[in-house]
Homo-oligomer: A and B are copies of this chain.
Amino acid sequence: MTTLHPFDQALALQHSDLRSGLFTGTTSPAYWNMVGPFGGATAALALQAVLKHPDLLGEPVSLTVNFAAAIEAGAFEILALPVRTNRSTQHWTVSISQNGQVNTTATVLTALRRETWSESDLPPPEVPRPSDVEPIRIGPEGVAWLAQYEMRPISGKPPSVWDGSGTDSESRLWLREAPQRALDFASLAAMSDLFFPRVWLRRATRVPAGTVSITTYFHADANVLAGVGTGYLLGRARAQRFFNGYFDQSAQLWSEAGALLATSNQIVYYKE
């Protein structure tokens, strides 16, 4: 008997007519956050519906997910529609609904890549190796999804004292899934949303905060991801601007070998 990885359980989708693009699924207790699913898991689900569609062209290049309303524990529907298919690119719209009400919208670009001149303009920061960094639990107790990842924070750990003393919003950490699981586009999408709200770090103050929209660009194909396998990713996140209730958060994910696999940006609501 094979036991599915919790992430694969969370991504399980059913369908009656595959070509309709309509899937059903159930929220995963293993990826529960405080008042709803971990946003990264929801982003991965939106992408997964596209990846399961029989008309899919190519591989993911860009994913934008908008968290429009709370997702409740239980069943949901995902509708993935190929809006426009060109020779080498395909544009998708995706929505997740519960009880007939849309709670999540997304757009996805997939494409057939060709081998071209390629280069990174952003080398990874110099950091100690994963084995030289202590794994610690980040974030509040009782939050299920945090147990699904191994995190080894290098700098920018969550403040140990919430005394308003913060000066900077950047975090660096090694991360991978726990239990280990070979990297794919869905897990890369989820891990792009793994960073705790920058406002907590910048202010050393715990205020209500939640991602409202996230955009992830994939800079890898299936071969590159297979090469990373179950290896660690180096993640970096920082904020650029906090303004009257919303801030942006810019993130990068490199392989341990130094390949920039994904760049991601999100806009986050915060209070006070």
Q: How large is the interface on A (under 10, 10 to 19, 20 to 34, 35 or more residues)?
A: 35 or more
The quantity of this chain's copies bound in the complex is 2
Query: Are A61 and B212 within 8 A (Cβ)?
Result: yes
Question: Provided the pairs A66-B109, A272-B117 are in contact, do residues A263 and B240 lie with their beta carbons within 8 angstroms?
Answer: yes
Contact residues, A67-100 vs B (CB, 8 A):
68-69, 83-84, 86, 89, 91, 93, 95
Contacts of A221 in B (CB 8 A): 244
Query: Are B240 and A120 within 8 A (Cβ)?
Result: yes
Contacts of A95 in B (CB 8 A): 83
A269 CA to B89 CA, complexed, in Å: 10
A168 CA to B123 CA, complexed, in Å: 12
Verify if A149 is at the interface (C-beta below 8 Å from B): no
Question: Provided the pairs A105-B91, A221-B244, A244-B113 are in contact, do residues A265 and B212 lie with their beta carbons within 8 angstroms?
Answer: no
Query: Are B69 and A84 within 8 A (Cβ)?
Result: yes
Contact residues, A117-152 vs B (CB, 8 A):
117-122
Contacts of A122 in B (CB 8 A): 240-241
Query: Are B109 and A267 within 8 A (Cβ)?
Result: yes
A219 CA to B240 CA, complexed, in Å: 10
Contact residues, A237-272 vs B (CB, 8 A):
238-246, 248, 250, 252, 260, 263, 265, 267, 269-272
Contacts of A119 in B (CB 8 A): 202, 241-242
A271 CA to B114 CA, complexed, in Å: 9
Query: Are B117 and A91 within 8 A (Cβ)?
Result: no
Verify if A102 is at the interface (C-beta below 8 Å from B): yes
Shortest CB-to-CB span from A114 to chain B, Å, is 5
Partner of A102, one of B62, B84, B263: B84
Question: Provided the pairs A103-B84, A109-B267, A246-B61 are in contact, do residues A241 and B66 lie with their beta carbons within 8 angstroms?
Answer: no
Interface 1/0s, chain A 203-231, versus B by CB < 8 A? 10000000011010101110000000000
Question: Provided the pairs A62-B212, A69-B86, A202-B119 are in contact, do residues A243 and B219 lie with their beta carbons within 8 angstroms?
Answer: yes
Shortest CB-to-CB span from A25 to chain B, Å, is 20
Contacts of A13 in B (CB 8 A): none
7 interchain residue pairs of minimum CB distance: A68-B84, A68-B91, A113-B244, A219-B241, A219-B243, A241-B260, A122-B240
Verify if A187 is at the interface (C-beta below 8 Å from B): no
Query: Are A244 and B91 within 8 A (Cβ)?
Result: no
